[in-house]
Amino acid sequence: MATSAARSDDLEIRAPRQERTRRAWARVLDAGVTLVEEGGYEAFTIAALCAKAQVPPRALYDRTTSKDALFLAVYEHGIARMVADQQVFRDPASWAGLAPAALVTAAVGELTGLFRRHAAFLKPVVLLSGVHPEVLRRGRAHVHALAAAFGDLLLERTRDAITQPDPEQAVRQCFATVFSTCVVRTAHGADFAAPEVDHDTFTAYLALTARRALLAHDEAAATG
């Protein structure tokens, strides 16, 4: 397993120029994501990748001679699917007409849903980030982008209802709590920190925690 930082030139991918080679490279990336989902980093070998993508080794070596570069290209391909999903946080139409409590609930649901839909890929990636500095660095950047999208949504549409003295800090910590809980559940299993509950129950408790943290007065009124 790669554990040391690589030079940037070691991680370079030479982009395919011809349509045929672009199609082959797309198969490589899709196959790589499947290998990671099915067996984690340990399953990601040159032989397995060629067999899964139905390409000769040259199709890989024409792009790079570094296995780490290949893996990181696959990593970015897999993460791009999640990034496309999280654009919902930037879509005003998805949140139109929601009262603050309903919006917080829906936003938490979208966040836990991201983890649920992409769990097969995220689990090995999260575990790998503990020993792979470049995966950790890239993962941190992606998380910061997700945190910004989540935070901007809540601050734009619920700021006046947030009862904490520092709304920005409150929203940041709310995201960190929900995100970290999802990471633990995804990486280590639904029963790692508490008895296992189904996804809907898990999401409902996290949404309740978020509402109470951000909208304490509204939540107390609703439950009092």
The CA distance from 63 to 26, in Å, is 12
Closest to 172 (Cα-Cα) out of 195, 201, 194, 143: 143
Provide the whole-model pTM. 0.88
pLDDT of residue 10: 66
- As averages over each run of 10 residues, the pLDDT of the chain (224 residues) reads 50 83 92 96 94 92 87 96 96 96 98 98 96 96 98 97 96 98 97 96 97 75 42
pLDDT of residue 31: 97
The CA distance from 113 to 86, in Å, is 10
The two structure tokens encoding residue 33 = 């994501």
